[in-house]
């Protein structure tokens, strides 16, 4: 796991009586996922701007060009951009 994107809810190390580590195989969500889940809802104007940029890159929705994104895809990508900015700000303040 990258140090700049740690687990959001790390669990303490748990060991068996014999001293072997206990793992559940699912580390859980990262801090980036947590930030993205709590990103503010983008305004309709921002979504329309993104859709306009998509149409500018592919006005006829040609299959050999990047596909037009749905509103939900745009919202998800904006949420992860927000999360990336939060991680970058966190790195700057930690330095």
Per-residue pLDDT at 1 exceeds 70:
no
Q: Which of 15-19, 22-26, 30-34, 59-63 has the lowest mean pLDDT?
A: 22-26
Write the CB contacts of 71 (distance below 8 Å, at least 6 apart in sequence): 47, 51
Measure the CA–CA gap between 87 and 4, rounded to whole angstroms: 7
| Range 34-38 average pLDDT | 96
- Model confidence pLDDT, tens digit, residues 57-79: 999 999 999 999 999 999 999 99
Structure confidence at residue 27 (pLDDT): 67
Which sequence spans correspond to the domains of the chain? 1-95
**8 A C-beta contact, residue 87 and residue 4:** yes
């Amino acid at each position: 796991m990258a140090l700049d994107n740690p687990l959001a809810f790390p669990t303490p190390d748990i060991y068996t009586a014999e001293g072997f580590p206990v793992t559940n195989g699912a580390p859980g969500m990262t801090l980036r996922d947590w930030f993205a889940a709590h990103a503010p809802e983008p305004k309709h104007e921002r979504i329309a701007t993104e859709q306009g940029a998509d149409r500018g890159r592919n006005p006829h929705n040609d299959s050999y060009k990047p596909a037009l994104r749905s509103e939900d895809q745009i919202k998800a990508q904006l949420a992860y951009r927000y999360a990336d900015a939060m991680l970058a700000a966190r790195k700057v303040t930690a330095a």
